[in-house]
A = this chain, B = another copy of it.
Amino acid sequence: MSDTAQLTPSETSPYAGLPPINVKLFEAKARKGLSFDQIAKSINKDEVWVAAAFYGQAKLSEEELKKVSQVLDIPATEALSELGNHWWPNRGLGPMPPRDPVVYRLYESVLVYGHAIKAVVHEKFGDGIMSMIDCKVTIDKKPDPKGDRVVLTFDGKFLPYATW
């Protein structure tokens, strides 16, 4: 068995298609032993949003890029040249349906509760949607003697359908 033959890149990896600098961000984070929360604090952002940026799903401003590069000890010029003003996220990480159980459970929430959520949104807000663009996602740890709980919150603007 030789490495070069067996070590096959994979579309299903969450790193598939990311610019090289993103992989360097993950490596530096691992080397430094920092959490997303610790990195996020340095730019006054939330950990979920910063993790999304590491996965190429959000756009850091040039100021934020410089600050993150400093915190992680990587050259800011490289980060700016790859993720600077000319770069725009190509959002959407596969595969779908997700294979990883953590991500699949989110997908299952759409299968099981999607229509119920739609029905209640309509009852409470009318004909429109909950925006996933103007939306903030946060994760809290809620201690519980029967087992800690993950509290995942989506706070998104309601957008009514235009008529014309």
Residue ranges of A at the interface with B (Cβ–Cβ < 8 Å): 1-3, 5-20, 23-24, 26-27, 29-30, 33, 35-37, 45-49, 51-52, 54-55, 57-59, 81-82, 84, 86-125, 127-139, 141-142, 144, 146-164
Contact = CB atoms under 8 A, between A and B. Distances in A.
A36 to B, nearest CB: 6
Interface-central residue, A102, A128, A152, by most chain B CB under 10 Å? A102
A10 to B, nearest CB: 3
A20 B45 contact: no
Contacts of A49: 116, 163-164
Contacts of A104: 92, 104, 108
A11 B14 contact: no
A130 B144 contact: no
Interface-central residue, A122, A146, A149, by most chain B CB under 10 Å? A149
Contact of A116 (B55, B116, B136): B55
B1 A23 contact: yes
Contact of A99 (B12, B26, B30, B91): B91
